[in-house]
């Protein structure tokens, strides 16, 4: 092969946007572009001369050998250097061309979708099974033990409410994930917070938790009313659910000075509940993740509340932080952008 031909081949490989490796029929490395070096985790300064120096993954080396033997192109997926790679191997006359595509993010999204379907199906199955069992029991008890009918009807209502809550959370999450930025309208945040918290008083009373609000008379804001309600409702509901009898939940809304002199709005929801271990904090905003699965099954939590909050806060253009001490309580702080305040 002339120097001119080798130069043209290198230019061809380097012009490919995907990772590309070109090997001779004797496994000599003819060309490799920067994308392939990065995907195969080959340092820039490393001297590579043959296919064995580059294709260190056994499945990839085996695919190249098979394509040389059969002449038929091959596509495979491999896990290499913490990445999921799709590799296309084909003959280019008497040379082997290896094209590499990074599918790490695509694979992660596919895995999240599969996990979501599995988890959603499992969570829906629990109340549905309960409703079916209670309905069958009610048909028998109505004739043989009519005095137990009110008890079964109440339990049936609890399971139906649990199912409705899960469906509403799933719809909220889907809406937040699939649409663009929320519509902006003028909202009195103080009035919204007081109204949403008031709707959770019965839940707090049932859990023997004291619920209070600290807010100015009025806090004007421009943002999505529905998203703001979702944030407040889910944070308060979560604080009640993972509290203890005799505990407290304080919802504080305040306008504070920003580092650049502009006002900033903070919504802080603090509870005196069980708290969250430091190791659990990075995962609490994942869908269906529960710090205490046994407590959630008892209380009927869906495991979607904080995932919904995170998406809603992002839609509004704000940020959320959490601070917690195990056995003492948790505090969530939502900060809303200064330019949205009126």
Least confident of 81-85, 87-91, 111-115: 111-115
Least confident of 95-109, 240-254, 286-300, 319-333: 286-300
Find, among 175, 136, 161, the residue nearest to 237 by Cα: 161
Is residue 327 over pLDDT 60? yes
Parallel, antiparallel or unpaired: strands 248-257 and 210-214: parallel
DSSP 286-328: STT--S-HHHHHHHT--S-HHHHHHHHHHHHT-EEEEEEETTT
User: Residue 105 has what pLDDT?
Assistant: 84
Beta-bridge partner residues of 77? 86
Domain boundaries, the chain: 3-102, 104-178, 181-342
Q: How far are the Cα atoms of 130, 141, 308 from residue 149, in angstroms, in the given order?
A: 16, 7, 37
Please, what is the end-to-end C-alpha distance for the chain in angstroms? 72
What is the C-alpha separation between 156 and 168, in angstroms, rounded?
Answer: 18
Q: Which fold is adopted by the domain 181-342?
A: Heat Shock Protein 90 (3.30.565)
Q: Would you place residue 135 in the very low, low, confident or very high pLDDT band (cuts 50, 70, 90)?
A: confident
Is residue 97 over pLDDT 80? yes
Q: Would you place residue 237 in the very low, low, confident or very high pLDDT band (cuts 50, 70, 90)?
A: very high
User: Residue 286 has what pLDDT?
Assistant: 82
User: Residue 6 has what pLDDT?
Assistant: 65
User: Residue 164 has what pLDDT?
Assistant: 81
Buried/exposed code over 9-23 (b: 16+ C-beta within 10 A; e: otherwise): beeebeebeebbbbb
CB 100, CB 79: distance < 8 Å = no
CB 169, CB 308: distance < 8 Å = yes
CATH for the stretch 3-102: 3.30.450.20
Burial of 198: CB neighbours in 10 Å, binned 0-12, 13-18, 19+: exposed
Least confident of 19-28, 85-94, 252-261: 252-261
Q: Would you place residue 231 in the very low, low, confident or very high pLDDT band (cuts 50, 70, 90)?
A: very high
Q: Would you place residue 338 in the very low, low, confident or very high pLDDT band (cuts 50, 70, 90)?
A: low
- The rounded mean pLDDT for the chain is 85
Q: Which residue has the higher pLDDT, 168 or 18?
A: 18
Q: Would you place residue 247 in the very low, low, confident or very high pLDDT band (cuts 50, 70, 90)?
A: very high
User: Residue 337 has what pLDDT?
Assistant: 79
Q: Which residue has the higher pLDDT, 166 or 274?
A: 274
Q: Would you place residue 2 in the very low, low, confident or very high pLDDT band (cuts 50, 70, 90)?
A: low
CB 36, CB 56: distance < 8 Å = no
Handedness of CA 24, 26, 32, 35 (dihedral sign): positive
Burial of 125: CB neighbours in 10 Å, binned 0-12, 13-18, 19+: exposed
Q: Would you place residue 308 in the very low, low, confident or very high pLDDT band (cuts 50, 70, 90)?
A: confident
CATH 3.40.190.10 fits 104-178, yes or no: no
């Amino acid at each position: 092969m002339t120097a001119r031909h080798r130069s043209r081949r290198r230019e061809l490989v380097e012009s490919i946007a995907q990772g590309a490796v070109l090997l001779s029929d004797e496994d000599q490395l003819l060309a490799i572009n920067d994308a392939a070096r990065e995907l195969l985790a080959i340092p820039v300064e490393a001297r590579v001369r043959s296919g064995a120096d580059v294709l260190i993954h056994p499945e990839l080396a085996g695919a190249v050998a098979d394509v040389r033997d059969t002449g038929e192109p091959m596509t495979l997926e491999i896990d290499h250097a913490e990445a999921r790679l799709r590799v296309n191997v084909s003959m280019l006359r008497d040379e082997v061309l290896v094209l590499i595509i990074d599918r790490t993010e695509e694979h992660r999204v596919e895995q999240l979708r599969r996990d979501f379907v599995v988890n959603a199906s499992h969570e829906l199955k629990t109340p549905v099974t309960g409703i079916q069992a209670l309905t069958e029991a009610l048909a028998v008890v109505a004739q043989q033990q009519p005095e137990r009918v009110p008890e079964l009807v109440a339990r049936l209502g609890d399971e139906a409410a649990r199912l409705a809550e899960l469906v509403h959370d799933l719809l909220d999450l889907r809406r937040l994930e699939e649409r663009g930025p929320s519509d902006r309208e003028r909202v009195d945040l103080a009035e919204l917070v007081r109204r949403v918290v008031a709707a959770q008083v019965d839940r707090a009373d049932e859990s023997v938790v004291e619920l209070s609000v600290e807010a100015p008379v009025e806090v004007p804001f421009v943002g999505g009313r529905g998203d703001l309600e979702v944030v407040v409702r889910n944070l308060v509901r979560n604080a009640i659910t993972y509290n203890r009898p005799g505990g407290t939940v304080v919802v504080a809304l305040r306008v504070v000075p920003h580092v650049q002199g502009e006002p900033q709005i903070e919504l802080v929801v603090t509870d005196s509940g069980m708290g969250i271990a430091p190791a659990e904090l990075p995962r609490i905003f994942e869908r269906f993740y529960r710090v205490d699965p046994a407590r959630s099954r008892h209380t009927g939590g869906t495991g979607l509340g904080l995932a919904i909050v995170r998406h809603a806060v992002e839609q509004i253009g704000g940020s959320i932080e959490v601070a917690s001490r195990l056995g003492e309580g948790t505090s969530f702080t939502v900060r809303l952008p200064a330019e949205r305040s009126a």
